[in-house]
Structure formats: C-alpha cells, structure tokens
Amino acid sequence: MIPYGRQSITRKDVQAVTSALTSDWLTQGPLVGEFENAMCRYTGARFCIAVSSGTAALHVAMLSLGIGPGDTVLTSPITFSASANCACYVGARPRFVDIDPKTYHMSPELLEEYLESSSRRKKVRAIVPVHFMGPSQMWRRIQE
C-alpha cells in the first residue's frame, strides 16, 4: 500500500498534547493565545486566529474578504465539500473549474478561459485552489 502521508510526531509533541488534554482547558484557554501569537511571529502577520477546522478557516477567509451575495468563488470539483460550501455560507455562488486529468488539480487553461470571459470576471471574488495528494502544480504553472 502507498501511504497517503507520513507524520512526524516526537515525544515532545505527545507530551504537549497530553498536557493540554489533562489541563482544565480542552477548548479555548491559554494555549490558544500562545499558538496564535507563535503563528504571528512565524508568519510576520499582525493578527492570527485559531479556528476549529479547515472548514471554519475557509468560512472566516470568505468573511474577512467581504465576499457575499452576488459574488462568485471558483474551486475544483475534486475536493472536500468545504471548498465550495465556504462560498455558500456567505451567500456567494461556488463555480467549478474542471481539472487537468494528468495532475487532478484545477486546470490553469480552463481557469484562464473562465476568467477571460468579461461577463464572468467581474463577479469572481476568490479562487479556492485545491491540491490533490501533493503540492499544487497549478501554482507552479501560474508562476511560469
């Protein structure tokens, strides 16, 4: 069997999880603030917010961008439902750009074709790219 992924978990990681689980805080609490501050330092961002899931993160991203009714969000048809649902949560319309059958990622050519249609371009407020089992090939193609 080919593994989907491999994790690297150290004893220090296990001790940190055990410490959190045996504390008085299973949700919220001081570790969340420490994590958010560490992420700000690591990324150089002014603000950071921890959320409960990737689905929640996509929802918050839509809200932070002011995406709403009348807007279009493009994503891949090969994805978890959250990639499209995040648009629905804020009243926007998800639209799917088909994949490249060689990479299983959103086709850069079809994305370009969609965006070149002037009647559609105005309404596209976000693109939620999805990588399928590895790094995004689309980003590399866009960079070329």
Per-residue pLDDT tens over the stretch 28-43: 888 899 999 999 999 9
pTM > 0.95: yes or no: no
Q: Which of 93, 91, 87, 80 is nearest to 130 (CA)?
A: 80
137 backbone dihedrals φ, ψ, rounded to 5°: -75, -30
Describe the chain by its helix, strand, coil percentages, rounded to 5: 45, 10, 45
Beta strands in the chain (DSSP E): 72-75, 93-96, 124-128
Q: What's the rounded Cα separation, in Å, for the pair 51 and 35?
A: 11
**What's the rounded mean pLDDT across residues 111-124?**
81
| Per-residue pLDDT, 25 | 87
Q: Which of 96, 55, 50, 103 is nearest to 77 (CA)?
A: 96
Instruction: With cut-offs at 50, 70 and 90, classify the pLDDT of residue 144.
Output: low
| Per-residue pLDDT, 67 | 97
| Per-residue pLDDT, 134 | 60
The more confidently predicted of residues 126 and 118 is 126
3 state DSSP class of 52: coil
3 state DSSP class of 99: strand
User: Order of strands, edge to edge, in the sheet holding 124-128?
Assistant: 93-96, 72-75, 124-128
Of all residues in the chain, the percent with pLDDT exceeding 90 is 64
Hey, where are the domains in the chain? 11-43, 67-143
Residues contacting 112, CB < 8 A, separation 6+: none
| Per-residue pLDDT, 40 | 97
In this predicted structure, the answer to whether residue 141 has a pLDDT above a threshold of 90 is: no
In this predicted structure, the answer to whether residue 139 has a pLDDT above a threshold of 60 is: no
